Chains A and B, each alone.
Chain A
Amino acid sequence: MSSNVPSDPLVCLEGVRFAYGEREILQGIDLTVKRGQVVAIMGGSGCGKTTLLRLIGGQLRAGSGKVEVDGQNLGRLSTRALYAMRRRMGMLFQFGALFTDMNVFDNVAFPLHEHTVLPDELIRDLVLMKLHAVGLRGAQSLMPAELSGGMARRVALARAVALDPMLMLYDEPFAGLDPISLGVTGQLIRRLNDALGAASIMVTHDVQVSLDLVDYVYFVSNGIIVAQGTPEEIRASDDPFVRQFIRAESDGPVPFHYPAPPLESLLSGVAA
């Protein structure tokens, strides 16, 4: 299924700018994702990664520039058309965002109940298949509060792929997971992407896991893309930003200090 999909771009961003009020978050982003690809967007906290993901999901509209998904400009779509588009997208939120008033089964069945008129038995089979794919078929009657963080994220993943999306968006899929859950989640993302023949965009700052499983990486800093390439290119890169990020150095192009006047002037000012 994944072998014969055409490799035309599914997601295409051109010169995208975005600002919250007067605070510019994104200052001209160009980015393409092809079908079948898993792409990581990396960068420090607060650099606009999540904003980028929301633009692709159509939750925010770009100030200028163009966000195209499957050939349609999201900025021009009506709410109805946007919703039609979103039925073909799946999004995994940072902490899963499971509906806390429903059990695991109903959470996964939710998009099926909302968007299809399938008979209950068929929905049941589909849900159990999705849950089986994430290894949690046995947890179907648990409530979200009874799940560990990693399990909750896997359930959310099953829910996100319930309608077999063409595009998967992941917001920090690895945050707060223990190493085992982290490995499991990473493998699941790759496996589901290949099985669905979909494209996946993952916002993360977990370098090592991501580099092992993605096809392409974009580095975002201060609202622009500072580096991009395949994992091999990134590992070999001598770009100072990429090096700082991969080696987790505390100071470098991403400064340790939030912009402030020099400490000396402040101290002498107090002394005076």
Chain B
Amino acid sequence: MNALAATLRRLGAMTIDGVWRLGFAARFSLAVLRYSGQSFLRLPLTIREIYFSGVLSLLIIVVSGLFVGLVLGLQGYDILRRFGSSDALGIMVALSLLRELGPVVAALLFASRAGSAVTAEIGLMKTTEQLQAMDMMAVNPLARVVAPRFWGGVISMPLLAAMFSAMGIFGGWLIGVVAIGVDDGAFWSQMRAAVDFRYDVLNGVIKSFVFGVAVSWIAVFEGYDCQPTAEGVSRAITRTVVYSALAILALDFVLTSFMFRGI
């Protein structure tokens, strides 16, 4: 009986806690959106954050994109050759990158490279009372610190995903055309015939934009919400990476099922 009561009580506490956090998260996002105008008026703040989340992620995105493309080229060629359709390598590389791998892998890398950095930065600012100090100087930290980082991430993400896909296609071309000897013309023309701008490219961009919103939001929220201790910050960073990965993959499923239903 006691055990049952205790279990129920824990369930109740978890629910209340969850609802409270949800409400807090909703209020937080509304506040961030409300103060976004101010951060756009002061563009240098957002540009600075594009530098930190975008430019500094450039290297890892470009290198990873290239390698993913190289691997896709090798694997794709190996499979397509069995059906005598190695000319379709371009299609395979381009479609898998544009629709799935580009947005998803770039977003995963972005979460662990830039998202964790944003969480760490905001978390440390909270721990060292910088956010409070700002608040006491009548400067809203949501407008000055959180909103620019959020928008910096949202703007960077689609650009990074596009670069990832472009590098990947280049990698696939390197393997397929330069190394293995698939016909250059067939590679590009088949790809162009099969890849539709609106259906494939644009949907990929939409995906990466949605991922950018999700990852940036998780990163700033976890940073802002973290326990102001060293342990709290490290936990918040872990949560950012884990939740971002889960959110990206779950959202990818939802978006894919809407976009590429292929009745």
B128: contacting residue among A57, A100, A169, CB under 8 A: A100
A114: contacting residue among B124, B132, B133, B139, CB under 8 A: B139
Bound CA–CA A114/B136 (angstroms): 13
| Beta-carbon contact of B129 and A115 below 8 Å | no
| Beta-carbon contact of B138 and A91 below 8 Å | no
Q: Mark B30-44, 1 if CB is under 8 A from A, else 0.
A: 000000000000000
Tell me the number of A-to-B contacts counted with CB atoms below 8 Å. 51
Q: B137 near A: Cβ within 8 Å?
A: yes
Min distance, Cβ B90 to any Cβ of chain A, angstroms: 45
Q: B15 near A: Cβ within 8 Å?
A: no
Q: Mark A86-98, 1 if CB is under 8 A from B, else 0.
A: 1101010111011
| Beta-carbon contact of A59 and B132 below 8 Å | yes
Contacts of A159 in B (CB 8 A): 137
Contacts of A110 in B (CB 8 A): 137, 139
| Beta-carbon contact of A93 and B137 below 8 Å | no
| Interface set, chain B 124-171, CB cutoff 8 A to A | 124-125, 128-130, 132-140, 144
B145, closest chain A residue (CB): A99
Bound CA–CA A97/B139 (angstroms): 14
| Beta-carbon contact of B137 and A59 below 8 Å | no
B129: contacting residue among A86, A95, A111, A114, CB under 8 A: A95
| Beta-carbon contact of B137 and A111 below 8 Å | yes
| Beta-carbon contact of A94 and B129 below 8 Å | yes
Bound CA–CA A169/B135 (angstroms): 14
Residues of chain A at interface, number, CB under 8 A:
22
Question: Taking A97-B130, A100-B128, A100-B130 as contacts, is the C-beta distance between A89 and B136 under 8 angstroms?
Answer: yes
Q: Mark B102-131, 1 if CB is under 8 A from A, else 0.
A: 000000000000000000000011001110
A95: contacting residue among B128, B136, B139, CB under 8 A: B128
Contacts of B136 in A (CB 8 A): 57, 59, 86, 89, 91, 169
Bound CA–CA A57/B139 (angstroms): 14
Q: Mark A158-174, 1 if CB is under 8 A from B, else 0.
A: 01000000000100000
Q: A184 near B: Cβ within 8 Å?
A: no
| Beta-carbon contact of B129 and A97 below 8 Å | yes
Bound CA–CA A87/B136 (angstroms): 8
Contacts of B133 in A (CB 8 A): 91, 93, 97, 99, 156
| Beta-carbon contact of B138 and A97 below 8 Å | no
Contacts of B128 in A (CB 8 A): 95, 97, 100
| Beta-carbon contact of A83 and B132 below 8 Å | no
Q: List 28 A-B contacts (CB under 8 A).
A: A59-B136, A83-B140, A86-B135, A86-B136, A86-B137, A86-B138, A87-B138, A91-B137, A93-B133, A95-B128, A97-B129, A97-B130, A97-B132, A97-B133, A99-B125, A99-B130, A99-B134, A100-B125, A100-B128, A110-B137, A110-B139, A111-B137, A111-B139, A114-B137, A114-B139, A114-B144, A115-B137, A115-B139
Q: A93-B133, A110-B137 are in contact. List 5 more A-B contacts (CB 8 A).
A: A59-B135, A91-B133, A93-B132, A94-B129, A95-B129
The 9 closest A-B pairs by CB, nearest first: A97-B133, A97-B129, A86-B138, A83-B138, A91-B136, A93-B129, A87-B138, A111-B137, A114-B139
Binding site for A on B (CB under 8 A): 124-125, 128-130, 132-140, 144
